[in-house]
């Protein structure tokens, strides 16, 4: 079933690689103009080049989502370049270290929360008014299966992703009547650099999910595009789990 998009422009943060890159490429394959945002300029420009090589249109925007000035400038640059913002995927995130809860220092707590929670909040803060002014849009925040369950030795990461789901639901309630749909996607263990760090380079990757494998970034991108599409027109404030049944076990 083909996706149906009514808008023209998508913004993806954390798009230098992994899930963000897969989402950016998927949007471009659907004919959208894509703003690729990341603090990693080399990776971000690499994503832009992949889109252009495939015949798509994209631009790179350097952005540290922990900086409000950067986030504000990012959204302004997208609007200045393309005239509007129809879809936003707030994907930038970090996992932090793996260890027991009492071992974390305040600085480590702050680092995770600043990217995963403050970063998403700041993106929403500047994306929502733009979409409201133009009559609508769709936003997907990248949470995690860790946002709906506890995770041993990743307590702060888990807390941050619970918070992303809270932001998602609250924003959905506040802006539904403005024609803006806000949802979240909750990936399980995905075969990205981050995912491989989480499993500590384990040789047997099949033991983490009932599905018997890790997920692919493209499978998460498919879920994100569905949530952005008109086919999800009545889906709001939803945290879609895409995790190979790990949360069901």
Catalytic residue numbers? Answer: 157
Residue 30 DSSP label: T
Q: Is the dihedral of CA 77, 81, 87, 91 positive or negative?
A: negative
Q: Is 233 exposed, middle or buried (0-12, 13-18, 19+ CB in 10 A)?
A: exposed
8 in helix, strand or coil? Answer: coil
Tokens of 224: 């994100």
SS (H, E, C) 222-236: HHHHHHHCHHHCCCC
CA dist 145 and 241 (Å) reads 7
CA dist 194 and 197 (Å) reads 5
CA dist 35 and 27 (Å) reads 10
Buried b / exposed e over 118-128, threshold 16 CB at 10 Å, is bbbbbbbebbb
């Amino acid at each position: 079933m083909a996706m149906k998009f009514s808008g023209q422009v998508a913004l993806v943060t954390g798009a230098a690689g992994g899930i963000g890159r897969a989402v950016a490429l998927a949007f471009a394959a659907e004919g959208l103009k894509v703003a690729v945002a990341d603090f990693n300029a080399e990776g971000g420009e690499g994503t832009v080049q992949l889109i252009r090589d495939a015949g798509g249109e994209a631009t790179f925007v350097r952005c540290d989502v922990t900086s409000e000035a950067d986030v504000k400038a990012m959204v302004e640059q997208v609007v200045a370049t393309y005239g509007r913002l129809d879809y936003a995927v707030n994907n930038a995130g970090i996992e932090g270290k793996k260890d027991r809860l009492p071992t974390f220092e305040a600085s480590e707590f702050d680092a995770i929360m600043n990217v995963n929670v403050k970063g998403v909040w700041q993106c929403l803060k500047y994306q929502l008014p733009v979409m409201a002014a133009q009559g609508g849009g769709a936003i997907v925040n990248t949470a995690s299966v860790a946002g709906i369950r506890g995770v041993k030795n990743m307590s702060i990461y888990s807390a941050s992703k619970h918070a992303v789901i809270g932001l998602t639901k609250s924003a959905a309630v506040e802006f539904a009547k403005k024609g803006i749909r806000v949802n979240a996607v909750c990936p399980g263990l995905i075969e990205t650099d981050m995912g491989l760090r989480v499993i500590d380079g384990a040789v047997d990757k099949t033991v983490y999910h009932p599905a018997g494998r890790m997920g692919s970034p493209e499978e998460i991108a498919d879920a994100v595009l569905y949530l952005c599409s008109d086919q999800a027109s009545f889906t709001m404030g939803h945290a879609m789990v895409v995790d190979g049944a790990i949360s069901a076990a």
